[in-house]
Amino acid sequence: MPADRTPLEPHSGQRRSLVSSAALGWTGFGADMIDVAAGRHRIPGIVHHRVGVHVGRPVRALCRCDGARSARIQAHGDVDVIPAGLDGEWSDDADCTILNIWFADGFLRKTYDQLGLTSAKAQIRPSFQWRDPRFQHLAWALLAELEAEEASDPLYAGSLGTAMAVRLAGAEVADGRTRRALSARAAARVIDYIEAHLDERLSLDRLAALVDLSVPHFNVLFRQTMGVPVHRYVVQRRLERARSLLLQGRLSAGQVALEVGFAHQSHMAAWMKRAFGMTPRDIARSGQAAD
C-alpha cells in the first residue's frame, strides 16, 4: 500500500467518514473525521500507527487494547495512541466523532532517525486519554486543514505531521547545541531553489536535503532565519509572483495559478483574498487601469 493512501481498517461497528485527506497529497501520514455509532466496535491490528482524537461531547467507553481494559469518560481532546499491529475493542454508550490520524512506520522511523533517537526512545507505545497540549494544538490545526474549503500547501500538512511524530516520541527538535539559524549560504541555496521550482510540488525532504539537515531541524532553522514557516514563505512567494503575472495581463487567472504552483485557480483566489483582500480579477483589472 502506498504510504500516502489512507489505510483500510477492518471495523466491526458502523461508522461514516465525514472528510478525508486522501486527495490532499499528504505523504507518509493521513487523517479523516469519522462519525462512530454507539455500540461495540473492534479494529484488528494494521501496519500503520493510529492516533484517535475525541471530538465533541463526552461519551462513556469500555476499552481493551494490548490485554489491558479500562472504563472511562472520553472527553473532547482525549488522545488514544494505538501502535501498528495492535488490535483494539471498545464499547461507546453514545455516537461520537473521532479525528483519526495514521502514520506509516517508515515516516516515523525516518523522522526519528533524523533526530538521532535511539530505538528505545523511538518506540510508539499504546496510550489512552493522553493529554499533551502541543499535540492537541497540532491535531486541531490538522483538523482545520481537513475542513478548509481550500487546503493549504502540502508543505504545511507535512510540517504538522512531522511535529506530531516528534511529540509522539516525547522528543524535542532542538537543544542548546544546535544552530540557531541557517547560514547565509544555506538560506540563499534554499531560497534560490524555491524560486526556481515554485511551479512544482515542493517537499520538506528535498528542501532539507539541500542544506544537509533533518526535516525537523530544517523547519526550526528556516523559521528562525526567515521569520515565517517554510510553507508560509512558499505561499507568499507564489502569491507575489502570481500578482505580478496578473498585473502584466498576458495570462489568464487559470494559467497564472498553474504557472506559480497553485493546485487550481480557486485555490489561488482563496489565498489572494486572504492575503491581499482582492480577487485575481480585481488584480488583473487594476493592472489594466494602470495602463
Query: Do 269 and 253 meet the contact criterion of CB atoms below 8 Å apart?
Result: yes
Q: Which among 244, 238, 243, 266 has a CA at the least distance from the CA of 254?
A: 266
Q: Structural domain boundaries of the chain?
A: 15-168, 184-227, 233-290
**pLDDT at 254 exceeding the cut of 80:** yes
User: Which one has a higher pLDDT value, 131 or 99?
Assistant: 99
Report the alpha-carbon distance of residue 54 to residue 63 in Å, rounded: 14
What fold does the segment set 233-290 form as a domain? Answer: Arc Repressor Mutant, subunit A (1.10.10)
In the numeric block, the cell 482525549 is attached to 78
43-65 CB burial, b ≥16 within 10 A, e <16: bebbebbbbbbbbeeebebebeb
**Which pLDDT value is given to residue 65?**
79
Tell me which residue has cell 471498545. Answer: 90
Q: In terms of C-beta density within 10 A (0-12 exposed, 13-18 middle, 19 or more buried), how is residue 24 classed?
A: middle
Residues 87, 40 contacting (CB under 8 angstroms): no
Render pLDDT for 154-209 as a digit per residue (tens, 0 to 9).
Answer: 888 999 999 999 888 876 665 434 568 899 999 999 999 999 999 988 889 999 99
Q: State residue 179's pLDDT score.
A: 63
Distance CA 260, CA 198 (A): 6
Domains 15-168 and 233-290 share a fold: no
> At 240, which helix (H) or strand (E)?
helix 230-248
Number of C-beta neighbours around residue 286 at 10 A:
13
CATH number of 15-168: 2.60.120.280
CA 84 to CA 6: how far, in whole Å? 14
Note the pLDDT tens digit of each residue in 129-152.
888 888 999 999 999 988 887 767
Average pLDDT, stretch 105-126? Answer: 83
Kind and range of the H or E element at 206?
helix 204-210
Mean pLDDT across the chain: 86
CA distance 151 to 282: 22
Cell 511535529 belongs to 163
Q: How far apart are CA 146 and CA 32, in angstroms?
A: 7
E-strand stretches of the chain: 15-20, 29-36, 39-43, 49-55, 59-65, 68-74, 79-82, 88-92, 96-103, 127-130
What CA–CA distance (Å, rounded) separates 155 from 211?
A: 17
- Amino acid, single-letter form, for residue 176: G
